Structure 1
Amino acid sequence: MADSAAVAGLLWDHWLPRNVREMLAGPLPGGEDDGRRLCVWLAGTHDIGKATPAFACQVDELAGVMNAAGLGMRTRKQFGDDRRMAPHGLAGQVLLEEWLEERHGWTRRASGQFAVVAGGHHGVPPDHLQLHNLDAHPELLRTPGPSEAVWRRVQGELLDACAGAFQAEERLAEWQRVKLPQPVQVLLTAIVIVSDWIASNPGLFPYFPEEYSRGEAERITAAWRGLTLPAPWAPAEPRETAAELFATRFGLPPEARIRPVQEQAVTMARAMPEPGMLIIEAPMGEGKTEAALAVVEVFAARSGAGGCYVALPTMATSNAMLPRLLDWLGRLPGSVVPDDEAGAGFPADPPAGEPHSVLLAHAKAALQEDYALLLRSGHRTIAAVDAYGGEYAQETGGARSASADLVAHQWLRGRKKGLLASFAVGTIDQLLMTGLKSRHLALRHLAMAGKVVVIDEVHAYDAHMNTYLDRVLSWLGAYRVPVVVLSATLPAARRAELAEAYTGSSTTAVRDATGYPLLTAVSSGSEPVTASPAPSGRRTDVALEALADDDAVLVDRLATELADGGCALVVRNTVDRVLNTAATLRERFGPQHVTVAHARFLDVDRARKDAALLRRFGPPDSDGRSPHRPRQAHIVVASQVAEQSLDVDFDLLVTDLCPVDLLLQRMGRLHRHPRGERQSDRPPRLRNPRCLVTGADWQSAPAPEPVRGSRNVYGAYPLLRSLAVLAPHLGTTDGPDEPVRLPEDISVLVQLAYAESEEHCPSPWAEALGTARARHEEDRAKQQRKAEVFRLDGVRGPGRPLIGWIDAGVGDADDSPAGRAQVRDSRESLEVLVVMRRSDGTLRTLPWLDGGRGGLELPTGAVPSARAAKAVAACGLRLPYHFSFPEEFDQALAELEELYVPAWQEKESHWLAGELVLALDEECRTRLAGFFLTYDPDEGLMVSRDEPSKKEEGAAR
């Protein structure tokens, strides 16, 4: 208890960001001094529930000593299952409440809001039923009879001693009148959890301190030195002009000019009464990410946030963002350490420029090269270190590494603690789980409360995810967390919902704002501010054309368009359509001229293909040329993976019909970069950007009918609404076709397609549209109801204890398939690691892996080498929808579990334990749950009910 209290004080002095300290201090009469004392006292009393017979009976010889001292106890066997009704956290809450009420005159409600911290320090605050059950079994807290008074006296003595030692005694009379807001209760709980975990680390705090001659102060100092938690980021507010700020933070060349959107974002961030939410709507390629990071620096300096979290749609987009974040961090000036006296007597704050902790937040982060390097450089022993550098205790592990500017800190690793790192980039799931009732949710709240949160591609989330996102935003608003929202295609209604969720109040000004680009700034207690800066001058007129959904028509058209060379992107809405189209195109153009990209690849192959796409079709070099851009005609057939966050550029776009906002995103891959003067380096036929829209029966009456796969993915209603607003551009209405003007038409088309007041559709479509709308609304309501099951409640009024805060939750939730399934409206899918089984029965890594990783032996009687195990871990594959239906899921799971290698699981291979393994034969084929699976490193996974012939496989390849 004393160790936990000491750690809490150190965390307050040296680790908690300023905005978190201010949030905790806000409701307390003594301000930050009270905040520190309260954290220390709650950490010091959190384990008082161990001073009960229900807990102390667990070790017979120790229980006997207590018995002899008058603390009568039953044995563990005598208690039986009743002990489960008095976990020591719950018992501690009850004891602390009684002490406050009986000795200090507090009311039950006043005591509950403080004592619930002890009750929730193992991750789940108790509910009312648990409190009622324990109240019915007082023998679990004190043995009845003569020893009851002894138990009561000892518990009171311990709590009296804590109040004196942790300087809370003289403040209790003032605190009993305080109404703690629920967000403050959550943060206090999280700080106690972190303090408890650190104090429970035997490497930092040896179990038998009397073996060491140093005093308690030296013991605490040694532990803190050994832990070396990086201090929070504490930037000074940048004083440069916006142009100077961008030049220094992003390494822009002297001739580069800041874009109006970027300049306006910095200006608005500086002008807000207090940091709040800034929504940036701007075209693709306008530098929204750089604008967001510049705003993060301004917001952090003004609010006291100690870092940032950048949330993206997928693991792939998160991986791509990490190097950009690291580059920005490397250009930041040294942190400014606050000058205060709060930590007198404790180790000094680290000097400015000390390392900052960094996290890549998703399940396969260790496979990303930049992050893997941070992990290796940050690997070290966590052990107490005295003032002269000697270690009190040594854990096995790697040697201590030299300081670096950025570290993946050893202690801040793992699914529970990772987000506590100062800087993190990861999937949107990690943010959405802040609104999911789950164990140790308080830690996730502490992590987000201390950061500026950036949400990229906010338009990309469905009703289920938005239900979670809105609740998360309401909590972020309560914590006064600054938020930056980015989108190229955001409907006005959704913009208003985001602002309302964050501020708790609605305003027509946000909903009715016009202009594009558009920036909207909102914060609690002030009127929203909007601005529409001038476009950057980048402008493209895209000619749209409806194309019949026939592969033969597509082949002939591409043959004509690519006669003089050039590159085309064909985007299909399902992987099956990708594979079928690619096979047909190869027959005409040859395999070397057709590439596929979709989500049905091994992780390692997906990363390789993304890198190849960027190398061949990415931005030109500084001289305006792209040395790897193919000279002959080339076609990339892709699923939605090419839709966002890949900076690729094509001469011609062919796309399945999709919602208009996504269609515009796809257009962002068309003529994305200049290729010579007036695109003169492109083939003559392709110098004017064109988009051919297919994936629909254009002759169907009364309305065009999208193909079945697209309807399954997006629903008929959004597709029909998109068709209606695109009609003037597609030649489906009378009059000349109008090009889509980018960026001018982006917001116009999106707002028309998503307008709630009217549907801009031809009158003959009315019946079909009405049917589709009814189905759409039913599906949205179903998604929202599903999300409500485990969604966290909203913030309740001050003074209400967190009792039952995550009642009926999901238990543990992390970045696993099951965890992601809670915040995404998707069937639970199976993820496997893919290996090869040779004809002799031995297992090997896949032969085509580069870097010497291919064909490595995978022994079944022992843990594979670290090199081989990591190579297998890089071959993760999420099985497609075929295996998501209940019957197929269960059958596939049962068959996969047959390949159970005890040595990999029971000996806890870091990379392989707990994973399902799919073994392919030497021809990369296997059967699973009645399906035939074939894998090709260039084509991905092919699934069929019937066994494919060699000829069919060859054609696919």
Structure 2
Amino acid sequence: MYSSSMAREGEGRSGLRSRLEGPVLELWGKHDRDSDGWLPLWQHMEDSAAVAGMLWDRWLPWSVRRLIGRALPGGEGDGRLLAVWLAAVHDIGKATPAFACQVEGLADRMRAAGLEMRSRTAMGPDRAIAPHALAGQVLLGEWLEEACGWDPEECWPFTVVAGGHHGIPPEDSQIYALDSRGHLLRTPGRSRAVWQGVQTELLEACADEYGVRGRLGLWREVKLPQPVQVLLTALVIVADWIASNPDLFPYHPMEVPCFGAARADAAWQKLDLPGAWRPVDPDGTVQELFESRFALPAGSSVRPVQAEAVELARSMEAPGLMVIEAPMGEGKTEAALAVTEIFAARSGAGGVFFALPTMATGNAMFPRLLKWLKRLPSLEGRPHSVLLAHSKAALNDDFTDLMRGAGPVAGVDVDAVRNGKQALGHREAPAELVAHTWLRGRKKAMLSSFVAGTVDQLLFAGLKSKHLALRHLAVAGKVVVIDEAHAYDTYMSVYLDRVLSWLGAYGVPVVILSATLPAARRRELVEAYAGTVEEAGAAFDEVAAAGEYPLLTAVTPGGTPLVRRPAASGRAVSVQLEPLDDDLDVLADRLEAELADGGCALVVRNTVKRVVETARVLRQRFGDDVTVAHARFLDVDRAANDKELLRRFGPPGPAVDRPAGRHVVVASQVAEQSLDVDFDLLVTDLCPVDLLLQRMGRLHRHQRGTGQQDRPARLRRPRCLVTGADWSAPVPVPVQGSVAVYQKYPLLRSAAVLLPHLQTGGERPVRLPWDISPLVQGAYADDVQAPAGWQEALDDARRRHEAQRARQQQKAATFRLGDVAGPGEPLFGWVAAGTGDADDTPAGRAQVRDSQESLEVIVVHKRADGGLTTVPWLGQDRKGRRLGGLDLPRDQVPVAFAARAAAACGLRLPQEFSGEVMDRAITELEELVVDAWQTKESSWLAGELILPLDQDCQTRLAGFALRYSTTDGLEVTRA
């Protein structure tokens, strides 16, 4: 029965408890097995409602509140009422025998109050048919029908919020299965009326307590849009998670009883969740805006692309999608951030997500994002949550510095709150930008206000997966910036386009950056976001035919696209193209001649194997004046390589120590984007023309003296030698490695549009930026005339290419989220037949990229005596502490400092270790697992696969011989 102690605790209280009496007070909602503490269901419902109200008032971006409010007759006021009420009733499914029987002691209390139920064992497997989320959806729907006169179809868009609050909205078949098993919701016989009574009593009390009684009649006429259903579900999930934290909301018996507003206020103060950004529309001129946000060098002016982008953002009827296409080095990133600030202020967005193609580009963007944030007047004096979103963010020093500023969420000091003091663990002087503790979980992290990370995090919003609603809430309240849009293949584009359609439905402002896009792809992006643009088709065709460049395209959801053609900045480069035989001796001879008087050359290969083979030959001529850069280095070594490239080949300045003599960098695609490096001569494998133009952006990128006079005399005219193909054949034959990476058709189309520039002996250079768009549009257009004798080869390659694209599209569609359904369509089956959990792991990334799951290991050094250490060549951390050669004992957890140093030595094994070979490799690596490291105290190393290298940095794995060096990275050969 209802205990006397609980009765005394409730004396004099208002709130939900004051509306309840009798058996309903014995319903339990939370239980702690370790302490045997528990929480009454009504208390958890009250806690959840209170948190939802605080989230709405203090955390949810205005753009999200407005979107929800627009769907309801009472606007944002109705939106808040609905959110709080749904949070209160979301766990009504726990008021059922199927749930209550799980804890026998608490079930006995309920039986004593007249709520009869069979034991958990006796109820058997049928319990699985009535998970409490689904049960809650059914009970809430029955109450709306019986007590409020709603039709079932009118209930579903509202009740699905309860049904989906554990991450997966139910499917129709699950609902029908439960309909035929009423005993799971109410025990038959005398007790059935008691069960129905407590369920009704709770729902009636919530309707009155949270002020929706008078609104339900009006809401009955609302066809709640799917985007609103998603956001309400996500908000309830967040409220439920916070209210379920016993450190914030203690269970009974409590050491210090605290109820109602005091309980919620104490928890909120302890949580210390940073609020949403409240951006202010920047006034003043474009020049003033850029000078204040980006610290422009004295005397420099904003570039035309940047100025036009800001003016276009200011002139748009409402924030929407903007595609910025401009040459490399034109300041597209700064333009995007300026547009983002304007879009955010005008849309009410509460944050920014900057999506980049790789972890390396994410790491490079993160400090730039932080610098911009620290210059925003709207952030002064208030903490805001920041995230670096990829799987190895904890190894990034800029991010870990922010993490150190965020205190833990621990027990609530109620007395301190009552006395006006700060709760235990609350920062006395919080940093303006923090990596908030509560937002570090993989499902919650993207809810941070400001995020830089890999595009995978955005593509996951288009993947059917558990708790997808949280990912949608995370992007729905932000401005989304997508960088390097040309870098995403057909498979990834299938997900990107679907995500854009949902972003358009949410009204999320989006900025897309690219050096240039094929006209067809530009149109696909616009249509995905805004819907059909048939009325603007002529404008798109005109732009494509004219080859206008730079180019800005903007559109609002459902609107007509706007096109702007800003002038080029005046920075121009005319690059002479020349074919070069694909022979390493020919390459070495040519480089030796070109660099006779010194100079820096970049050789870009399409595969790591070609990088290593080329470097080996070139070292025979150039010795140590050859540097290798590719992705098959340890994480820590690759970061050091990028830093060294910038130090030696970055823009002119005191921080750059450019080689005085000759030097050759042999690199894979890692040198293609997001590195501000500058070379005197470029040699590149044939690749798709848009990527080849990106590589050209590393050639004479900066002015070095008047007329480039600071470069060697023979290298003052920019030249690009194109190799990686047999140019002597009637139709060029790309090397097999390049075909495997890019397919033959894009390579031949690239060769076809470059042919006039390759055959003229330098008399017809590629003029950057003016030739960028014509070359790209020509390579991707459907009706370009083939060079003489090429037609048959092109037709055959095209058939293969289109078949591969169709396979990619079909494969990607398997787990792709459906499009936005019509108003009033419930989210039933929204993520049915999905992937389960999706996160930033190799397996997760493989779901949104057309790649096989890769194998990641942590590389350590194995001494002659069998002991393990961190690899010996690691340098020092920022505090001057040695990182290399640190002991990693097998009989205990390594010290955190050494474990983190080891974790920084992650390495992704190449495709040789996929499929069946991966299984064999995992089996062999699992034999090396150190049991002492598989504990909670070993967060850096637990669950990781460890690859020990001997004193010669070699080992064998799954039939392959592995060799690692700091100069060439990982080499893999058949053993």
| Range of TM-score over shorter length | over 0.9
Task: Give me the whole-angstrom Cα distance separating, in 1, the residues matched to 2:416 and 2:246.
Answer: 20
The answer to whether 1:778 aligns with 2:803 is yes
Contact 1:380 1:400 (C-alpha < 8 Å) held by counterparts: no
Q: Which amino acid aligns with 1:420?
A: L
Task: Give me the whole-angstrom Cα distance separating, in 2, the residues matched to 1:787 and 1:181.
Answer: 26
By how many angstroms is 1:186 displaced? 0.2
Counterpart for residue 635 of structure 2: 603
By how many angstroms is 1:132 displaced? 1.4
Q: List per-residue Cα deviations over 1:608-651 (Å, max 9, x = no partner).
A: 00000000000111xxx665100010000000000000000000
Q: Pick which of 887-896 and 418-427 moved more.
A: 887-896
Counterpart for residue 366 of structure 2: 322
By how many angstroms is 1:902 displaced? 1.8
The 5 Å alignment of 1:738-887 reads 738-756=764-782, 758-851=783-876, 852-884=882-914, 886-887=915-916
Contact 1:313 1:457 (C-alpha < 8 Å) held by counterparts: yes
Task: Give me the whole-angstrom Cα distance separating, in 1, the residues matched to 2:482 and 2:576.
Answer: 32
The answer to whether 1:94 aligns with 2:138 is yes
Counterpart for residue 348 of structure 1: none
Q: Which amino acid aligns with 1:841?
A: G
Task: Give me the whole-angstrom Cα distance separating, in 1, the residues matched to 2:741 and 2:510.
Answer: 30
Q: List per-residue Cα deviations over 1:308-357 (Å, max 9, x = no partner).
A: 1000000000000001000000100034xxxxxxxxxxxxxxxx631111
The answer to whether 1:706 aligns with 2:734 is yes
The answer to whether 1:126 aligns with 2:170 is yes
By how many angstroms is 1:386 displaced? 4.8
By how many angstroms is 1:209 displaced? 6.8
Task: Give me the whole-angstrom Cα distance separating, in 1, the residues matched to 2:205 and 2:420.
Answer: 28
Task: Give me the whole-angstrom Cα distance separating, in 2, the residues matched to 1:553 and 1:57.
Answer: 79
CA 1:16–1:549: 2 relative to 1, 3 Å: same
TM-score by length of 1: 0.94
Identity of aligned residues (%): 65
Q: Pick from 941, 944, 948: which aligns with 1:915?
A: 944
CA 1:384–1:391: 2 relative to 1, 3 Å: farther
Counterpart for residue 626 of structure 2: 594
Task: Give me the whole-angstrom Cα distance separating, in 2, the residues matched to 1:215 and 1:574.
Answer: 64
Counterpart for residue 346 of structure 1: none
Q: List per-residue Cα deviations over 1:532-566 (Å, max 9, x = no partner).
A: 11100000000000000000000010001001111
Task: Give me the whole-angstrom Cα distance separating, in 1, the residues matched to 2:315 and 2:613.
Answer: 54
Counterpart for residue 573 of structure 1: 606
Task: Give me the whole-angstrom Cα distance separating, in 2, the residues matched to 1:408 and 1:236.
Answer: 23
Counterpart for residue 122 of structure 2: 78
By how many angstroms is 1:138 displaced? 1.0
Task: Give me the whole-angstrom Cα distance separating, in 2, the residues matched to 1:392 and 1:840.
Answer: 60
TM-score by length of 2: 0.93
By how many angstroms is 1:525 displaced? 3.7
SS at match of 1:935: strand
Q: List per-residue Cα deviations over 1:336-384 (Å, max 9, x = no partner).
A: xxxxxxxxxxxxxxxx631111000000001111111111122434443
Name the count of aligned residue pairs.
920
SS at match of 2:790: helix
Contact 1:235 1:301 (C-alpha < 8 Å) held by counterparts: yes
Q: Which amino acid aligns with 1:876?
A: G
CA 1:185–1:904: 2 relative to 1, 3 Å: same
The 5 Å alignment of 1:940-951 reads 940-946=969-975
The 5 Å alignment of 1:85-234 reads 85-208=129-252, 211-234=255-278
Q: Which amino acid aligns with 1:57?
A: C
Task: Give me the whole-angstrom Cα distance separating, in 2, the residues matched to 1:571 and 1:527.
Answer: 41
SS at match of 2:458: helix
Contact 1:222 1:387 (C-alpha < 8 Å) held by counterparts: no
Q: Which amino acid aligns with 1:801?
A: P
Task: Give me the whole-angstrom Cα distance separating, in 2, the residues matched to 1:404 and 1:740.
Answer: 49
Contact 2:256 2:414 (C-alpha < 8 Å) held by counterparts: no
Contact 1:385 1:392 (C-alpha < 8 Å) held by counterparts: no
Contact 1:101 1:108 (C-alpha < 8 Å) held by counterparts: yes
Task: Give me the whole-angstrom Cα distance separating, in 2, the residues matched to 1:401 and 1:913.
Answer: 34
By how many angstroms is 1:211 displaced? 3.8
Counterpart for residue 665 of structure 2: 636
Q: Pick from 393, 396, 402: which aligns with 1:365?
A: 393
The answer to whether 1:900 aligns with 2:929 is yes
**Dislocated runs of 4+, deviation >6 Å:** 390-396
The answer to whether 1:557 aligns with 2:590 is yes
Counterpart for residue 522 of structure 2: 495
Counterpart for residue 349 of structure 1: none
Contact 1:311 1:431 (C-alpha < 8 Å) held by counterparts: yes
Counterpart for residue 338 of structure 1: none
Contact 2:416 2:423 (C-alpha < 8 Å) held by counterparts: no
CA 1:392–1:715: 2 relative to 1, 3 Å: farther
Counterpart for residue 950 of structure 1: none
SS at match of 1:453: strand
CA 1:25–1:882: 2 relative to 1, 3 Å: same
Q: Pick from 645, 655, 662: which aligns with 2:684?
A: 655
SS at match of 2:215: helix
Q: List per-residue Cα deviations over 1:258-279 (Å, max 9, x = no partner).
A: 0000000000001110100000
Contact 1:90 1:126 (C-alpha < 8 Å) held by counterparts: yes
Unaligned runs of 5+ in 1: 336-351, 947-957
Contact 1:378 1:401 (C-alpha < 8 Å) held by counterparts: no
Task: Give me the whole-angstrom Cα distance separating, in 1, the residues matched to 2:222 and 2:228.
Answer: 12
CA RMSD of aligned residues (A): 1.7
Q: List per-residue Cα deviations over 1:676-706 (Å, max 9, x = no partner).
A: 11111100011110000000001112x0100
CA 1:32–1:627: 2 relative to 1, 3 Å: closer
Q: Pick from 724, 727, 730: which aligns with 2:755?
A: 727
Q: Pick which of 913-922 and 266-275 moved more.
A: 913-922
CA 1:317–1:378: 2 relative to 1, 3 Å: same
Contact 1:384 1:393 (C-alpha < 8 Å) held by counterparts: no
By how many angstroms is 1:937 displaced? 1.5
By how many angstroms is 1:212 displaced? 2.3
Q: Which amino acid aligns with 1:612?
A: E
SS at match of 1:498: helix
Q: Pick which of 935-944 and 211-220 moved more.
A: 211-220
Task: Give me the whole-angstrom Cα distance separating, in 2, the residues matched to 1:896 and 1:834.
Answer: 12
Contact 1:265 1:291 (C-alpha < 8 Å) held by counterparts: yes
SS at match of 1:891: helix
Counterpart for residue 262 of structure 1: 306
SS at match of 2:628: strand
Task: Give me the whole-angstrom Cα distance separating, in 2, the residues matched to 1:512 and 1:478.
Answer: 28
Contact 1:836 1:845 (C-alpha < 8 Å) held by counterparts: yes
By how many angstroms is 1:394 displaced? 13
Q: List per-residue Cα deviations over 1:286-321 (Å, max 9, x = no partner).
A: 000000000000000000000110000000000000
By how many angstroms is 1:389 displaced? 5.3
Q: Which amino acid aligns with 2:893?
A: V
Task: Give me the whole-angstrom Cα distance separating, in 2, the residues matched to 1:579 and 1:361.
Answer: 31
CA 1:610–1:479: 2 relative to 1, 3 Å: same
Unaligned runs of 5+ in 2: 1-44, 877-881
Counterpart for residue 32 of structure 2: none
Task: Give me the whole-angstrom Cα distance separating, in 1, the residues matched to 2:408 and 2:663.
Answer: 48
Task: Give me the whole-angstrom Cα distance separating, in 1, the residues matched to 2:784 and 2:193.
Answer: 75
Counterpart for residue 341 of structure 1: none
Task: Give me the whole-angstrom Cα distance separating, in 1, the residues matched to 2:254 and 2:853.
Answer: 52
The 5 Å alignment of 1:118-517 reads 118-208=162-252, 211-335=255-379, 353-386=381-414, 388=416, 400=427, 402-507=429-534, 508=537, 509-513=539-543, 514=546, 515-517=548-550
Counterpart for residue 18 of structure 2: none
Task: Give me the whole-angstrom Cα distance separating, in 1, the residues matched to 2:410 and 2:137.
Answer: 31
Task: Give me the whole-angstrom Cα distance separating, in 1, the residues matched to 2:202 and 2:444.
Answer: 30
Q: Which amino acid aligns with 1:43?
A: A
Task: Give me the whole-angstrom Cα distance separating, in 2, the residues matched to 1:387 and 1:236.
Answer: 38
Q: Which amino acid aligns with 1:898?
A: E
